[in-house]
Each structure stands twice: as C-alpha cells, then as structure tokens.
Chain A
Amino acid sequence: MRRLALALSLLVFAGACAERPDARAPITLVFKHAHILGSENPIPKLIAEFEARHPGVRVKAEALPWNSDEQRQFFVINLEGGSPGFDVMMLDVIWVPEFARAGWLYDLTPRLLPQELSVFFPSTVEAATQGGRVWAMPWNMNVGMLYYRADLLAKYGFVPPATWNDLVAQAERIRAGERNPRLDGVLWQGKQYEGLVVNVLEHLWADGTDVLGPGGAIFPDAARADFVLGFMRGLLERGVSPPWTTAADEELTRRAFGKGEAVFLRSWPYAYDLLQQADSPVRGRVGIAALPRHRDGERGEGSTGGSHLAVHRGTRHPDLALDLVRALTSERAQRLMVTGAALYPTRMALYHAPDLVQRNPALPEIAALTLAGRPRPVTPYYLAISTLLQPELSAAIVGVKRPARAVADARLALGFVLRGARGDLAAKISAPPSPSAAPR
C-alpha cells in the first residue's frame, strides 16, 4: 500500500515537473506588473500572442498597487512567505539586487546567451547583475534629463546651460525679461520620496561625488554633500524654484512645465511624449539636454531607472516563465510599449529605428543621454539607504535642518542601520562607471 502511495505521489510529482502542457491540465503562469498607462496598453495583446505560441498555457496578468512602496511591500511580504502565487514579476530596477540577495529570483545566467544581453543598454544589465549572475531582463528604461523652453532660450540668446550656475543665471534673466509672475525658473522633484533621492544623487554626481564611497562610506565627501544640499535649498530661497517644490513629484512638475509655467524641468523621457501632444501649450517649444554640472564636477549625469522582469525562484515552470520574459522584452514588445504606453525601450537599436524616430525625433538624443546616464548605487541595501536618506534630505530642502546637520544625521543613521552590511557594501560599490567613460 505504502509503495503504491509512493509510486502515485512520484507520478504526480513527475507530472508536475514535466513542462508538457496538455489539454487536460492547462498550465497557468501568473505575471505581476504595475499598471500600464498610456493610449494603448500592449500587455493583453502580447500575452495573447504568447498563449497562441504555447498551446495549453494560460497567462494571468495581475496589476500591482499604484504606489511603488506598496508594490515592493506586496512583493517582500509574499516572497518572504515562500509560496507567493506568481511566476513572473515586474521589478523596479532598484529592487533587483535586494531581491536577488534575498534568494527570491531565478538565476537566468545559464540560460541567457551573451548576445541576448548585449542588445540592451549596458547600465540596465549591470543593474540586474549581482555577484556575477544575471537575475532579471531589462524591460523599460528611464534617464534623468533637462527639459528647456527652446523658444525662451533662443529669444534671450542662450544655449542649454552647462552648469547649474548658468542655469540659475539664465532662469533669472528670462524671468526678469518676461515679467510673467507665473513663470518659474526650474522645476524638480523635492517631495519626501525616492524621486528626491534621485534628484540629490544627480546633483552629487554633478559635483563629482556620491552618496556611497568606496568601502561603503556614507557621504564620503561631506563638504560637497553640504554644498549640494545648500544649493538645492538655495534654488527655493532665491525663488528660482517655487515653494511647492517641497511637495513636487514627477507629474506635478510635468504638468506645470506643460502649461508653460517654467523655463526648465528635470524629468524622465515619458514627459517628452506628453509635452509634444497635439493639445500641449508648449508643443514644439521644448528641447532636451543633459543635466548641468556643478563647479567640481566634470559633467552632469542623469540617473537611470526603469523596470526589469524577473522569474520567481520557486516557479514550477521556469522555462515557460523565461519564455514569457523573453517575449515581453522582445523587440516587438518594446516597440508596442514605446508607441502605446510611452515606456522607453531597453534595446538600444530601437532608438534609431527609422519608423520610431519619425514618430519621436528625440529618440536618438534620449539614447545618448541614457548611455551617458548612471545607475543609482547597485546594492541590495539601496532601498534601506534611500528610505533613511529621504527624511534627512527633505529636512534640508524644506529648510528645517541646515544641510550640514542633515548630512551628519544621515551619516549617523545609515552607519548604524548598515553596521552589519559593511563588507557587502564595500564589495559592491567598486562597480559604478567612472565619469570619464565616454558615451558610446
């Protein structure tokens, strides 16, 4: 009897392992992703195509909460629990090292061919690489950049500013000349959230320093961090940026710039599509450029971002799940995503595809900015670091703490929380590309 039971259970087990879909027991893959906005969500179409190519396989696409903190919390709680009930997940690029380190992601390294990865922006592959293994496929891409009002700059004989001081001077000159009380100088994201950390990082990089130094030191150059935060606070105090910057996120700033209420805007590529829409008041009057640098920096670098697709380590169908990831990151999928949902491709070639460039002439320029961009620190502890930095950075921007105080407090808090992670941090931080690496 017992032998029979054993044989039966083995049979069931074997059946479960074999990935031979048949009509009686259809396989279901669950794909968790954030809401896709835009004129035409390409996901249902792509999934239907995948199902047509894989008879007997059904893909259930389930949307995550709207807010990125809640998305991550959903993943962490379910993955830590062990049997999360999904196979493929869309991850913000900054979560990939953390999730890989926690052992939640399926190691894609043995199954990916080198030429499969070389078509993506190197920085996206780097962001998904942890301990020499690749844990996720790049899905869509973002890079921080400077939008400017080409008409206003031309009117006053300016070219896009190379340094932040130039930017301030241009903004003040244009505002004085225009005499429009609704016209602000530069808009950026100063609310207490990840976006603020990104803005501060870009200013730090623009001044030739970083939030994490070699060896895992926090704010390795405290004096420059102090200067950078003071400069950002100064933008508000001088009136170059409006007081509501302290509550500003991407959409708030994009809408104000889109109404013609600012000379400059720091944002991501998605804004370009919206600013150039037929009913946009600034249509045809917007230019894009690299972010300016500070006095001690060599050049401004935009922070890269975006999302990746990863396979859950415990999935019963790793091959199918990887196939789905490949299908969703394919050239065809990324074409549909950039035209339908303004999600920018991770495949470099698409930025030069004639039909796409005709739709969006800024693509080659965005590709160049992306290549010159820089990932946020690639470490499993990034989320912890960012979360601890946010209140301190916000305090400095709002003006309730002096910048030096905020830097000192952040150093203290991070030093304590990451006391067990020092070795890890030191090992990972050697990676960021040197500023002199020329864009290809």
Chain B
Amino acid sequence: MTPRTRAARREGLVYLAPALCALGALTVYPALWVIWLSLQERMPIFGIERFEGLRNYLFLAVDPRFWSAARVTIVFTLASVALEVLLGLGVALLLRQQQLGRKLALGLLLLAWALPAVVTAKMFEWLYHPAAGLVNFLLGGRQINWLGDPALALPGLILADVWRTIPFVALLCYARLLGIPAALYEGAEVDGAGRWAIFRFVTVPMLRRILLIAALFRTLDALRAFDLMFVLTRGGPAGTTETLTLYAYRSLFQTLQIGFGSAVGVVVFALVMAVAWAYLAAQRDEDTAG
C-alpha cells in the first residue's frame, strides 16, 4: 500500500464517520442494549432488576409457548412466502400478456399493497365474519368461524397476508419481465422451443435473481409478522396464531417482563439475520456460478 492510497483511505474513513456513527447510535447500540436486557430478570414497575446470564434463554428452550410461537412463525413464513412468490409470478406473467387495461390492472394491484396492514386486517375481519362475512356468503351461507377455529385461523391469516403482498412480488417480476430482450424469445422460438421450454429455460433463469430478492424481502417480513395477528386474532384462538413477535410483545408490554421479552426479541433478530445471511450466500453462489 503506497502512502498515497493510505491517505486516500484515511480520508475515506473520515467521510464515512458520520454515517457510521449514526448507524452505530441507531442500530448497534439498541441491539447491544436489548441483548444486555435479555440477560437480566427485569420487571421495572416492581423494582426487580438482576443479572442472571442465560437463564431466560434456558427457559426458552423448554417453554412450550415459545416453541408453539416458533412453529406458527415458521409455518406462516413458509406458506405465505411460497404462495406469494408463485402467485406473484403468475400475476406478472398474466400482466405481460394483457393488452387492454394494463395500466388499470397495475393500479388496482397497487391498491392492495398501498393499504396499511391494519386496514387490510380490519377488512379481512369483516370478510371472515362468521355471520355477516362475504367469505361465508360465497360458500353458500355457511357459518364457518374462520378466525375462531384453531384449525382455520392460521390459514385465514396466511390468505390475508398473501392477498396483501402478491402485488409486491408481481410488480418486481413484471418490471424484470419487461427488461428481458425480445431477441432471447425469438431465438428460442427459432430453435423450436415450445411455450413450456421457453418459460423453463428463458423466463425463469432471467427472473431467478429478482425472485430470490422478492423471496428474501418477504421472508424477512413474514418472520417478523405482527400486525395481522395483532388485529385479527390477538394470537388466539388458544395461541394457535401467536407468532414470536406477538409473544415478545405480550411479554414486554402485558406481563412487563423486559428481560424475558428481550430474549424472545433477540431470538427473532438472530433468526432474521441467519435467514438473510443464507439468502445472500445463495445469491453469491449464483453470481460466482453464473
């Protein structure tokens, strides 16, 4: 390293410093503080505050409610992300085919994505209403208690989430589809490829990266899912829709266990980081391979 590059590097660091400081103050410090809290037993209004190492985490290992919340979170994430990516891709392909009213379709699609989650949740509350809901009406006037039945509540939530976020995946895919050169398709046709082969060997490879990014964003969101459950079921019935974030919220704000709630929060944080890292690693492999 020449003195000159060293100086340039130093100068670069000076320019970076404000951003690094801001990031540190806004993300690293709170993250470390939450980890520190998670090592304590803390119930502020009762004046309980003592360090107890990993005890909160050791309890999590045997806490059936935590494992149930983890299971709910994972089922919710896998099912909703899979459906969203598949259906989003389908919608994008249909959009590309559509000639008439494409702008209108795009606008309508955006509407679902633009609605605040709480509004979406309230809307689904009415759709799912056992006596007055549209869903039961369309099913021939049955009285299915969608959100009150332990077997149906989670699928109901997944459906609401899928409805809300298909547009996100669809728009990402659609934008990428528009960018695929027509020459590729023409070449494939000249080579005698059928529709399926074109989809399989041209469209999918060209979309792979954007699908990976869409799935990454959706997975990270789904792992932290809170708003739909909070409004629609509050984690019920019987805890069958309680996600990890809802459990953390309950512990922090309802039973006022700052230490234990933080431990649950740290687990969610670790889970999200691990998944993000795995996705990025997969993407890196793709880059080096391609």
| A contact set with B: CB distance below 8 Å | 69, 73, 76, 80, 98, 101-102, 191-192, 243-244, 246-247, 380-381, 383-384, 387-388, 391, 394-395, 397-401, 409, 412-413, 416-417, 419-421, 424
Contacts and interface: CB of A to CB of B under 8 A. Distances in A.
B65 A413 contact: yes
A387 B257 CA distance: 12
A195 B242 CA distance: 20
A317 to B, nearest CB: 25
A395 B45 contact: no
A73 B238 contact: no
B63 A394 contact: no
Q: Is the interface of A mostly helix, strand, loop or mixed?
A: helix
A420 B55 CA distance: 13
B46 A246 contact: no
Contact of B236 (A388, A391, A419, A420): A391
A191 B148 CA distance: 9
Interface string B49-70: 0100000000100111100000
23 contacts: A73-B253, A76-B45, A102-B46, A191-B236, A246-B238, A383-B254, A384-B255, A384-B256, A387-B255, A391-B65, A391-B235, A391-B239, A395-B238, A398-B238, A400-B150, A400-B238, A409-B65, A412-B64, A413-B65, A416-B63, A417-B257, A420-B50, A421-B46
B138 to A, nearest CB: 21
A388 B256 CA distance: 11
B260 interface: yes
Contacts of A101: 45-46
B71 interface: no
Contacts of B255: 383-384, 387-388, 417
Interface string B15-51: 0000000000000000000000000010111101010
Interface of B: 41, 43-46, 48, 50, 59, 62-65, 130, 145, 148, 150, 234-240, 242, 250, 253-257, 260
A421 to B, nearest CB: 7
A398 B62 CA distance: 23
A246 B64 contact: no
A185 B255 CA distance: 35
Contacts of B145: 243-244, 247
B257 A412 contact: no
A80 B44 contact: yes
Identify the 9 closest CB pairs spanning chains A and B, nearest first. Answer: A395-B238, A102-B45, A391-B239, A398-B238, A384-B255, A192-B236, A247-B148, A394-B238, A420-B48
Given A192-B234, A244-B148, A420-B46, 16 more contacts: A98-B45, A192-B238, A247-B145, A247-B148, A381-B46, A383-B255, A384-B255, A387-B254, A388-B255, A394-B236, A400-B150, A412-B63, A413-B63, A417-B255, A417-B260, A420-B48
A403 to B, nearest CB: 13
Contacts of B240: 400
Nearest to B42: A420
A96 to B, nearest CB: 13
A415 B136 CA distance: 43
Contacts of B44: 80
Contacts of A73: 253
Contacts of A421: 43, 46, 48
Contacts of B237: 192, 246-247, 394, 398
A368 to B, nearest CB: 36
A389 to B, nearest CB: 11
A409 B69 CA distance: 14
B260 to A, nearest CB: 7
A102 B45 CA distance: 5
